[in-house]
Chains A and B, each alone.
Chain A
């Protein structure tokens, strides 16, 4: 079945540095990927929609200059947290669907997430 892989699974960085998170679709090409953020014991909140070959669409309240999204190929989207601060510490999860199947039959598949801790 379709698999979405995220890397790294865990990262600790110092305040002010930047961190890149990768999301790969392993056995299908994803024209669209979604990035979610999840704070401890809370739900998943959509941050942005990543579109291959074009600019990402950000949800209201998400700073596009802080959370840079690049979807340069059909199997890879990256999220870069720039100038990270402790309040950016969270669980970041990407998801994608297989466009080879109709949207009626193809649910979103989620990666295993990246735990970011900013010290």
Chain B
């Protein structure tokens, strides 16, 4: 089955700096890679996703890149703000509506 590795497990940045979280996956059949933000005591919220036919996608301060050959994808957050502090999870699946395999999570702390 699919295995998703995520690094780093914790990340501390100064407000305004950029944050980068990286994930690798094992199953070459995976075609859908979402990123979720989870705040304390809440369920994950989708923040951005990318499909295997696209190499990069951007939405305001958030961008995701995908290297399907190397089987890795990354989340980039620019101009970080304290409200970006949360746990971020990458995931992989065969398609958007299928079961997700999650990475281990990254606890992002943005210091004001």
Residues of A within 8 A of B (CB): 4, 6, 32, 34, 41-46, 49, 93, 95, 97, 99, 103-113, 115
Contact = CB atoms under 8 A, between A and B. Distances in A.
B29 to A, nearest CB: 15
A42 B96 contact: no
B43 A111 contact: yes
A106 B102 CA distance: 18
Contact of B43 (A46, A97, A103, A112): A112
A104 B105 contact: no
A42 B105 contact: yes
Q: How large is the interface on B (under 10, 10 to 19, 20 to 34, 35 or more residues)?
A: 20 to 34
Q: Which 3 A-B pairs have the closest CB atoms?
A: A103-B97, A97-B97, A110-B43
A41 B40 CA distance: 10
Nearest to A46: B99
Contacts of A6: 43
Interface in B10-67: 32, 34, 36, 41-46, 49, 51
A109 B97 CA distance: 9
B86 to A, nearest CB: 13
Contacts of A97: 96-97
Contacts of A32: 97
Interface of B: 32, 34, 36, 41-46, 49, 51, 89, 95-105
Contacts of B45: 110
A113 B42 contact: yes
Nearest to B51: A104
B95 to A, nearest CB: 5
A109 B44 CA distance: 8
A113 B96 contact: no
Pick from A43, A46, A110 the residue with the most CB of B within 10 Å: A43
Contacts of A44: 44, 89, 100, 102
Given A107-B32, A113-B42, 11 more contacts: A32-B97, A42-B104, A43-B89, A44-B44, A95-B43, A95-B100, A105-B96, A107-B46, A108-B96, A110-B36, A115-B41
